[in-house]
Amino acid sequence: MELRQLRYFVAIVDHGSLSRAAVVLHVAQPALTQQLRQLEEDLGAQLLHRTAQGVHSTDAGKVFYEHAQAILKQVADARTAVTHSARPSGAVTLGLPHSISGALALPLLTAARAQYPDITLQLTEELTGNLAEQLKSGRVNLAVLFDDGQLTPFATTPLAEEALRFVCRADSAWFAGRSAITLAEAVGATLILPGLQHGVRPRIEAVARAAGLVPDNVIEINSIAILKSALMADMGATILPVAPVLAEIERGQMRWLDIRDPAISRTVVLCASRTLPLTNAATAISKLVADVARQLCDTDAWPGATLLAD
């Protein structure tokens, strides 16, 4: 197996056609076909279906595509680290969960452009379970995740403790004459939450279980946009940090209540691989994330977050 074969395969999948990939790669199509055939023989599996409309990945091809992308990214990172060892430069991919990108994404992009003009910061927004897998495989250099006790494969830097609130439509009866709600009351409501492997859900389940409670009326939605639509349709309430719904709160469309007896929060951490070395650029962005988190907490620009980083 050769690196060029990985590049050829990724290009074919990305362009959906052998002929288009051949043009982009400046490789004769017969030579491209031969390299693909050799790769499939080496792996002992068919990677692509060929049709009159183009090519489509087989199940084996979809798995190999993820690994090929990760390998090519690591090679590019190694080349960048050597070429630009004197100053931070090159591309850095940082993964952000949906529920936190509203607080961090724009401040990070602004700070990166101002302090590191030679670094291309690529932000990817994903579910937390997906981000952890991408960080393990090297497809992202860094990821902001939540400490659920399962982060031992990663090197972690604590950023902030973020309070979770009970959120629902502004005209909900829950708000009648109160500013807070008990965890038992919150768990007893119809809740719109992410799946068990994503976002705030593991933390909510753990705190509820410790209090002898079980959320038993849950609508699972793994998209912040769809979750907010369900809240506006008055299908239920949710337990979230304020940041993802801040715009709706400021417009008067949603409101939130503190959760007490017990309160509930999540620990936000910056994660890096323990096995894949960071480039100078990734190290610089790692420090920048901590600096931006500190600034946001100090100025109350990150609602409900309390600084944890040194």
Task: State phi, psi for 246 to the nearest 5 degrees.
Answer: -60, -40
pLDDT per residue as tens digits for the range 102-123: 899 999 999 999 999 999 999 9
Residue 76 CA to residue 90 CA, distance in Å, equals 9
Nearest one of 142, 93, 108 to 301, comparing CA atoms: 108
Q: Is the pLDDT of residue 262 over 70?
A: yes
DSSP 8-state class, residue 88? -
pTM recorded for the entire structure = 0.69
pLDDT reading at 126 higher than 70: yes
Statement: residue 290 has pLDDT above 80: yes
Tokens for 64?
Answer: 């190999």
Task: Name the residue with tokens 């753990």.
Answer: 206
- Given a cut of 90, whether residue 207 has pLDDT beyond it is yes
3-state secondary structure of 198: coil
Q: 194-218 in b/e burial notation, b at 16+ Cβ within 10 A?
A: beeebbbbbbbbebbeeeebebeeb
Q: Using DSSP, state whether 126 is helix, strand or coil.
A: strand
All residues at 6 or more sequence positions from 251 whose CB lies less than 8 Å from its CB, including other chains: none
244-255 pLDDT per residue, tens? 898 999 999 999
Kindly report the number of other CB atoms within 10 A of residue 306's CB atom.
Answer: 11
Structure tokens at 265: 């929060």
Q: How do residues 140-194 score in pLDDT, each as one tens digit?
A: 999 999 987 778 889 999 999 999 999 999 999 888 888 899 999 999 999 999 8
Mean pLDDT over 34-48 rounds to 87
